[in-house]
Structure 1
Amino acid sequence: MLVERESAIAQFSLCVDKLTNTSGHIALISGEAGIGKTTFLEQAKQLFGSYATFYWSGCDPLLTPRPFGPVHDIAAELSTPLLAMLEKGASTSSIYSAFYQALESSSEPNILIFEDVHWADHATLDLFKFLARRIAFVKCMLVISYRDDEVGETHPFRTVLDVLPSSHTSRISIAPLTVEGIAQLAQNSQHDSATLLKVTAGNPFYITELLAVNNTDINHIPASVKEAITFRLKQLPHGERTFLETICLVPNAISPSLLQALCGVDGETNATACAARNLLTVDDAGSYRFRHELARLGTITSLTVSQQKRLHQRIVEALELSQGVDALALLIHHSSAALDAQRVLKYAPVAAKDAAKNGAHREAAAYLNTALYFVSSASTELAAQLYEQWAYEAGLTMHIDDQVIAARQQAITLWRTLGRLEKVGENMRYLSRLHWYRGEATEAENLANESIKIIESVPITSGRIMAYSFRAQLDMLNDRMQAAIDWGNRALLLEAQFPNHEIRIHALNNLGSAKVLRGDETGEALLYESLSLAIEHGFHEHAARVYTNFSDYCIRYKKLDLAETLIAAGIAFDTSFDLDSWTFYLIGMQAQLRVEQGRLEDAQTISQGVLALDKLTLLMKLPALSALAKAQLRLGTIDVSQRISQVLENAYATDELQYIIPARFCAIEAAWLQDEPNVALTHLTWLSQLDACYLDHWRAGELIVWIKRFGFDLKSKFSCDLPAPYQLELCGKYLDAAEVWMSLGIPYHSALSLMQVQQPQAQEALPRAYQILDAIGAKAGLTKVREKAKGYELVEYLPSVRRGPYRRTRQHPAGLTAKEQEVLRYLSTGSSNKEIASALSRSQRTVENHVASILTKLNVSNRMEAMLRIQNEPWLSLRDSPKQDTF
């Protein structure tokens, strides 16, 4: 009997209406264990089964959940290609695409139920994120049930909840029963409803179990469900009770083959009898499972530890006999519980390899961690493999703590014992990378050098080539460009003899980046080649790295048009492949580009959007934070000094000059605007003492010009040819420098050059500087111009001070017009062109033109990609930036 679920059913009905009338939808079904989520969904299937095709799956409480576990439940019904990809261990992105294509190609609406997602593996959670971002484009309702009391702030499922589109998501909470609802359930018993409510807190499972006991004596009402289940078990025939105690340790459905192997000829008989008593359920495939998870857990508590261990061993042997497909996760789960070291060591590495192949690196690490509990029973070689493999998988998915470092070190020790020097060198390279991620530059350097020394003592392998390429990357990141070029060339020379696509892509990126960041434009061709190969061979993260490095170079070297093209293409690429860690870093660089272009409020809008996102690392936020500090400095925002201090602190936390140098230049500019020469002197002195190899000619020019502007007597080590605008300013040709800056599309620096002009040309230059700064809203600079004009008694020549906020250079970060922004807001909800035309009272042709323009400006090819951009960058759908306090 379904009691007091009318409201929830009505909510579910609205979700079905949205599915059948418009586009896809997500329904979150939440509630505590035993509250009746499964019963509710079964009723929903009965009510709405004629409107849509239902697909039912669930997650299991395994020690380590199987990657894409619930997807396997429905793959055969949903899509033959998807099933084939799962069975052959295809890449994660391929599985995502196959799943989405199956939904997209369906002409009828589908309802996909995923139960108990609080137990889901990380690959499935990532699939939910992928589907959530695209749900508006398929006739599918994604129904996710979970225990809300088990999903805390750090639970992995939270990462899914954070990205669900609000316009396509409904939340249905299954509430406890009231005393009236309990009375309906207990109407044929002698139980008191108020007492039941007090004992059970309205939990239907507790109530059902207590009613099944059929004992109305208040003194004999079990104090807990454990006692209720134990009492009920004792009332069963011996065969059925023994059967339930045998299968209760299996945390998921028991297939017919496993049932036969585990329980013999009596298994089916006892299973049928227990199903008739509503203790078990049976699905269409003939698999049995406990009707309530709490009943299964309660049954386990009736067993002693030694009984459980013996039963786990029986289950392992039965699993091997049944030859069930994809039983690795279960085999490891039960072998571990049975303390069967040899079986764990046999199965866990295989499962980890399969999981990693699917992109489920957290599960891979978990399998290997289970194996490491039994590492004392492993051979030396296997132990070394387990330590290095766990360190790799854990390093991808968790904080790189001392335990990860220690595992690599242990692997090195064991490989050295075996005399496997090529493995020693390989593990030292990985260890170097780990220390670099932790900001331990000296240790990373030493290990990288030692890795190469060792690996050069053995015959050439791909490991030696990658060691050279990694050495190039390490030097490039630390602004040792010539060394990076040398190592990159060595790597490519060897790769030509031993071809390897990934190594070539990696080396080309490092070599090309090192070249262009020292002004050698031949490196651009290498970056283009690296990008092309990465895309062709499906190395998505390598492609994202090229977009990032190439864009950084273009901004540094003032190639703003090329930067605009690359950043737009890179953001679209990263978004389409859900590369969030790269996406928001690159969006932060887009904000830096807007600062250079004088689009200060656009830069502020974009930066604030990135910084408002949850769970981004310091490194992912740093480009946006740097852009925001510089934009707000120029806009004249209150308390910008605190923001600049934060940028400096975070830059130093990375221990990389690529972040520290621009942070110091920002502080120098702030000191100039705020008349704090002593602060500037500290930073300029530090920069002047750097070796010449650490500053490209643009940064060297910026340093020398700032020294001159402050009038400091600092000697410079930099003798390279400086860029034209800096060279002209140093020669006193301020007006010419200003013109060059304007030709580069950098108005703010043009104004700074004009502000250096002295009499008699100041009468012409200062009003021009004022007009430029006024046009871009750089209020702090206007104050500085007025001070200069006052000193020359030229204030009367400046334009009148305007009242009210400054006019914005752009109305939207992506350059959308006001009408396009209106269309975008409707497009972001999944509305069709016809619906948008009706809502805005425009012709459909007009809306089509606006949509085409929006897609072009967002650098996307279709509406779905536009929606992905909006979901990643919610500020794109906001017409106005938040107002800021200014001086």
Structure 2
Amino acid sequence: MSIHAVSPLFVGRARELAALGDALVRARSGVSSTALVGGEAGVGKTRLIKEFTAHRAGDALVLVGGCLELGTEGLPFAPFTAVLRGLVRELGRDGVTALVPGGSSRGLARLLPEFGEPGKDGAEARARLFEQVLGLLERLAEERPVVLIVEDAHWADRSTRDLLTFLVRYQRTAARLLIVVTYRTDELHRTHPLRPLLAELGRVEWVTRTELRRLTRREAVALAAGILEREPSPADMDLIYARSEGNPLFVEALLNEAGAGEALPESLRDLLLASVERLPEETQELLRVASAGGQRIEHDLLSAVARLDESSLSRALRPAVAGNVLVVDGEGYGFRHALIREALHDDLLPGEHTRLHTRYAEALESDLSILPAPRGAIELAHHWHSAHDSTWALVSAWRAAGEARKSTAYDEQLRMLSRVLELWDQVPDAAERIGCDRIDVLRQTATVAHQAGEYERSIALASAALDELDYDADPIRAALLLRQRGLTRYDLSRPGNVEDLRQAAALVPDDQLKLRGQVLESLARMLHRPEERSERQATARLAMEIGHAVGDARVEAHAMISLTWGHACYADMDQQLEAFAQARRIAYRDDAYNALMRCAISESDALEGSGQHERAAQVARDGVEGAVQYGLARTSGTFLSINLAEPLVSLGRWDEALQAIEQALDLAPPAPYRASLQGLATDIALARGHFDRAEQLLGSSRSVLSRGNYRDQTVLPHLCREVQLLVARGQLNEAVEMAARALETRDLVSSPRYSWPVLVTFAQLVWAVVPSTQLLEVVAPSGRAPSGGGASLGALARLALSLLPGLRKIGWDLGAEGDLQHAQRLTFSALTGPETPLDGASEPVAWQFEAWDLAVGAWGALRQPYAEARCLVGAAQAALASGDRQGAAARLVRARELARELGATPLLEQLDVFARRARIAGSGGGSDEGGDGQPLGLTAREQEVLREVTNGRSNREVAEVLFISVKTVSVHVSNILAKMGVSTRGEAAATAHRLRLFDLEP
């Protein structure tokens, strides 16, 4: 009777196997998903995956890559390098290159040297690599379903985790892609980096998470029967199940030990090593050598370290493979289970441990090509470090950092550079060994920490280096460090960023032109305040000249963009557009993709700011397409989607804008980009009366903006939305208080483009609170004695009116540059009155009629239908107040046409009530209101009560004003709520304000 080392029966995993099969069926139909499969060591994750790929995968392309342990860290991008290498073996390098979007595989060279030299390093290098990997999977999935399996994610380094997260989040762009990730749950201690990643991915809609349980006793018996080819005795099974606790690996190991006629091992370590100890001594020695090399070891490397000829090596290996301790894996070998390797490695004596790692290091030193880059350099550093050789550990870590940089494995590069710093004092001639002193290492580490997102650490490292420097004796390095710290402080919105760059610029010697250009270009980008405008222009111009002189296309292009933006004049765009075109030509020369994207962003933003919405949308749309081509769709592409959606919102193409927003949000953009996209969706939701949706979107944006310091272009539009939602919800007190705080605390002068919408929103808020008959004398005084109507205003209306002086002062001090700002200023003027009081002969109504018509014409010329329709309401009111009923009707008809096309329900409701109250036939609102012409079926007395409720008065205050009892007021309020279909006084007031019930009397 034979005993199988591994059960031929697959036991106890039918449900999990079916779930993977169902996921693949969905992938075949075009619905991609991810399955996270966890479980303790030995519970059967690998066996489940093998059964799935062998019996359920069918014609699907199965790509398998495992994370490799190296000491306490994983190798960067190990599973994806393995997948790519397998594809090259199957399709050839040219075949893989043909599948990469854009036809350039230089990004993949960061994973596999077969693709040549990587492209230039830079901020976009990693983004392009990630995009190319996803694009490759997308193209493969066009031919047949793809199953990407990433095993042992508990060993994944940060670079691997980042790429895996990217692929999972964006996999829905690739139809027919199933991602399966396995990991050990017993490895996930409280601070393990995989824990937050699993939690994050678990919230993604198309991700499922399964944890394999241990086997039941019945399942363990079935497993044992498959191994023994007979039913085990109940006594044996009782002991085996008690010892294994249902872990399949331990059940198999215990059965094999029992079958060998030996006593069952006492400890887990003994159990794992028992199968090894039965092997020949030379095989055991070889396995101890192999254990120091990691879970998987290449044949040539094992041969070199074991110092055996091919015949002796084969003789020693064969029993290990036959005994199922080692398995053949491509051009190398892997331990059947990581626990076996760990037990062997832990069993090494201290001297044996040092000797073996030294032999590995020496073998790699003699021929680093045994392993692919950057794995070879990183493993070499690991072995010298494990051998406790400080000198060579430092040298090899320095080299490994350079290899990791080529792969954009920033976290691994940071770890290697940090090791260099840790070992520095232990190696007296460290600087001579690596050709670099400690300050340079600190500077490089600060730069990499910034790239890895470790901003605080980057600042600390740069500051430490600066503390050791004599600026006068070493101005170049001081400038480099100050530039790095300034850039990091800028990303963190920390003070001192501009000062660091100014100091750096002052330190760069005149003969260091290239560095001077880089520092000046960085400084020009950071100078945003109005008082810095002239400095920004001078700095950008100088940087551009230097970039041109030294042939640095990136500096020249970026500086030209900054210079053009510094000139920003929305009234004259031709010169700006030519400058942007020139910057684009310069960037193309050097494949400066980041500059190309920034040019598209800046140009589309400038066009939108000038009111050229169609052209802005086209530039942004072209930029989004370019971002896809350059491999930057999820970064620059999503930012450009903001610049595409904004002009579409302006043009009233709201459904098209929402489509662009949703497509960008599907790419899971960075949080600030997401907040801006959701802000534009909020604008549409507010205009269409989808207030619950607006509140949800605004809450999401609010949570993002609360965690950082953002510029006016983000903060001020958000402020407008907050106020507008409060008004829509009837929370007028809160809206007025928010506006009052903003006027006291915010700078509404520095950014006219973003300040004008705030001023208009606040002015509209005053109109929403104060009845127009009483507001008119305030906003357009004629010089005659006031009627004194303000004395009857409620507390809320008086508070709202108190905003006007501050609003008017800011508005008349604020410049209006370009057609868009001019239209906003005209609207503001119609809402708040002329800059100087009218003379005694002028009629406020006539002035306001003209003011509203001017605003209507300005918005019509800009083709902004929503703003035009809203101003038409004011123009119709003014026409009606001046006795021009026909003019009022014409304006109402036009406003209704615009509002209906937009789906602006609240505005349509307001227009309908206006038409009925004014008894204007033919405007779409009808004129049959009932005998007294009251809106919403309200009686005259109920409308009086509603007016006072809308002014914020309590039932008792209403009773005093109208000279009726409190009980009568209560009855009227109940009737009002019923007729208006609302449940609270606040909702009734909000509806009255939205419909302008008290502003529409002739």
Alignment TM class, shorter chain as reference: 0.7 to 0.9
Q: 1:493 aligns with which of 527, 541, 545?
A: 545
Q: 1:116 aligns with which of 127, 147, 152?
A: 152
Q: 1:770 to 1:100 in 2, by over 3 A?
A: closer
Q: 1:801 to 1:144 in 2, by over 3 A?
A: farther
Aligned to 1:253: 296
Identity %: 18
Aligned to 1:392: 447
Q: Which amino acid aligns with 1:388?
A: R
**For residues 130 and 455 of structure 2, what CA distance do their matches in structure 1 show?**
29
Q: Structure 1 residue 430: deviation in Å?
A: 1.5
Q: Structure 1 residue 749: deviation in Å?
A: 1.8
Q: TM-score by structure 1 length? A: 0.76
Aligned to 1:683: 742
Once the two structures are superposed, the pairs formed by residues 541-560 of structure 1 within 5 Å of their partners are 541-560=594-613
**For residues 756 and 287 of structure 2, what CA distance do their matches in structure 1 show?**
77
Q: Mean Cα displacement is larger for which, 2-11 or 153-162?
A: 153-162
Describe the SS at the equivalent of 2:481. helix
Q: Does residue 767 of structure 1 match 2:892?
A: yes
**For residues 617 and 105 of structure 1, what CA distance do their matches in structure 2 show?**
27
Q: 1:58 to 1:650 in 2, by over 3 A?
A: closer
Contact 1:551 1:567 in 2 (8 A): yes
Aligned to 1:180: 218
**For residues 89 and 401 of structure 2, what CA distance do their matches in structure 1 show?**
27
1:535-565 CA deviation, whole Å, 9 max, x = no partner? 6644444333333333333333222112222
Describe the SS at the equivalent of 1:254. strand
**For residues 901 and 89 of structure 2, what CA distance do their matches in structure 1 show?**
61
Contact 2:524 2:540 in 1 (8 A): yes
Q: Does residue 409 of structure 1 match 2:463?
A: yes
**For residues 604 and 98 of structure 1, what CA distance do their matches in structure 2 show?**
29
Q: Which amino acid aligns with 2:506?
A: K
1:79-114 CA deviation, whole Å, 9 max, x = no partner? 335699321442464797599669759989887654
Q: Does residue 355 of structure 1 match 2:404?
A: yes
**For residues 480 and 727 of structure 1, what CA distance do their matches in structure 2 show?**
25
Describe the SS at the equivalent of 1:214. helix
Q: Mean Cα displacement is larger for which, 36-45 or 256-265?
A: 36-45
Describe the SS at the equivalent of 1:733. helix
Aligned to 2:964: none
Q: 1:277 aligns with which of 323, 344, 348?
A: 323
Q: Which amino acid aligns with 1:475?
A: L
**For residues 531 and 73 of structure 2, what CA distance do their matches in structure 1 show?**
42
Q: Which amino acid aligns with 2:651?
A: Q
**For residues 110 and 629 of structure 1, what CA distance do their matches in structure 2 show?**
38
Q: Structure 1 residue 432: deviation in Å?
A: 0.8
Q: Which runs of 5+ in 1 are unaligned?
A: 803-884
Aligned to 2:388: 339
Q: Structure 1 residue 474: deviation in Å?
A: 0.6
Aligned to 2:715: 660
Q: 1:733 to 1:689 in 2, by over 3 A?
A: closer
Q: Structure 1 residue 346: deviation in Å?
A: 1.8
1:597-647 CA deviation, whole Å, 9 max, x = no partner? 345677678768877987x65422331243244344434455768976986
Q: Which amino acid aligns with 1:528?
A: A
Q: 1:468 aligns with which of 520, 523, 533?
A: 520
Aligned to 1:80: 93
**For residues 439 and 280 of structure 1, what CA distance do their matches in structure 2 show?**
53
Aligned to 1:303: 348
1:281-307 CA deviation, whole Å, 9 max, x = no partner? 12342x222111111112223235564
Q: Structure 1 residue 473: deviation in Å?
A: 0.7
Contact 2:446 2:484 in 1 (8 A): no
Q: Structure 1 residue 801: deviation in Å?
A: 8.7
Q: Structure 1 residue 431: deviation in Å?
A: 0.6
Q: 1:438 to 1:283 in 2, by over 3 A?
A: closer
Q: Does residue 35 of structure 1 match 2:43?
A: yes
Q: Does residue 428 of structure 1 match 2:550?
A: no
Q: 1:678 to 1:55 in 2, by over 3 A?
A: closer
Contact 2:498 2:527 in 1 (8 A): no
Describe the SS at the equivalent of 2:713. helix
Q: Structure 1 residue 667: deviation in Å?
A: 5.4
**For residues 459 and 214 of structure 1, what CA distance do their matches in structure 2 show?**
80
Q: 1:310 to 1:244 in 2, by over 3 A?
A: same
1:303-340 CA deviation, whole Å, 9 max, x = no partner? 35564344323322232235423311211222222333
Aligned to 2:859: 741
Q: Which amino acid aligns with 2:598?
A: R
Once the two structures are superposed, the pairs formed by residues 603-618 of structure 1 within 5 Å of their partners are 617-618=670-671
Q: Structure 1 residue 744: deviation in Å?
A: 1.5
Q: Structure 1 residue 228: deviation in Å?
A: 1.2
Once the two structures are superposed, the pairs formed by residues 821-840 of structure 1 within 5 Å of their partners are none
Describe the SS at the equivalent of 2:218. helix
Q: 1:361 to 1:540 in 2, by over 3 A?
A: farther
**For residues 620 and 470 of structure 1, what CA distance do their matches in structure 2 show?**
22
Aligned to 2:942: none
Aligned to 1:825: none
Describe the SS at the equivalent of 1:390. helix
Q: 1:140 to 1:374 in 2, by over 3 A?
A: same
Q: 1:208 to 1:454 in 2, by over 3 A?
A: same
Q: 1:798 to 1:31 in 2, by over 3 A?
A: same
Aligned to 1:445: 498
**For residues 613 and 110 of structure 1, what CA distance do their matches in structure 2 show?**
20
Q: Which amino acid aligns with 1:115?
A: E
Q: Mean Cα displacement is larger for which, 556-565 or 421-430?
A: 556-565
Q: Structure 1 residue 223: deviation in Å?
A: 6.2
Aligned to 1:69: 78
Contact 1:426 1:451 in 2 (8 A): yes
Aligned to 2:814: 718
Q: Structure 1 residue 454: deviation in Å?
A: 1.1
**For residues 493 and 590 of structure 1, what CA distance do their matches in structure 2 show?**
32
Q: Which amino acid aligns with 1:622?
A: A
**For residues 288 and 399 of structure 2, what CA distance do their matches in structure 1 show?**
30
Describe the SS at the equivalent of 1:288. strand
**For residues 50 and 592 of structure 2, what CA distance do their matches in structure 1 show?**
42
Aligned to 1:370: 419
Q: Structure 1 residue 747: deviation in Å?
A: 1.9
Aligned to 1:856: none
Q: Which amino acid aligns with 2:345?
A: I
Q: Mean Cα displacement is larger for which, 485-494 or 206-215?
A: 206-215
**For residues 261 and 113 of structure 1, what CA distance do their matches in structure 2 show?**
31
Q: Does residue 207 of structure 1 match 2:251?
A: yes
Contact 1:209 1:225 in 2 (8 A): no
1:461-502 CA deviation, whole Å, 9 max, x = no partner? 322101111111111488944432222111111111101122
Aligned to 2:378: 329
Describe the SS at the equivalent of 2:687. helix
Contact 1:125 1:160 in 2 (8 A): no
Aligned length: 793
Contact 2:587 2:593 in 1 (8 A): yes
Q: Which amino acid aligns with 1:355?
A: A
**For residues 115 and 55 of structure 1, what CA distance do their matches in structure 2 show?**
11
Q: 2:10 aligns with which of 3, 19, 24?
A: 3
Q: 1:502 to 1:294 in 2, by over 3 A?
A: same
Q: Structure 1 residue 785: deviation in Å?
A: 6.3
Question: CA-atom RMSD, angstroms?
Answer: 4.7
Q: Structure 1 residue 232: deviation in Å?
A: 4.5
Q: 1:203 to 1:799 in 2, by over 3 A?
A: same
Q: Which amino acid aligns with 2:346?
A: T
1:328-360 CA deviation, whole Å, 9 max, x = no partner? 121122222233332232222333233232333
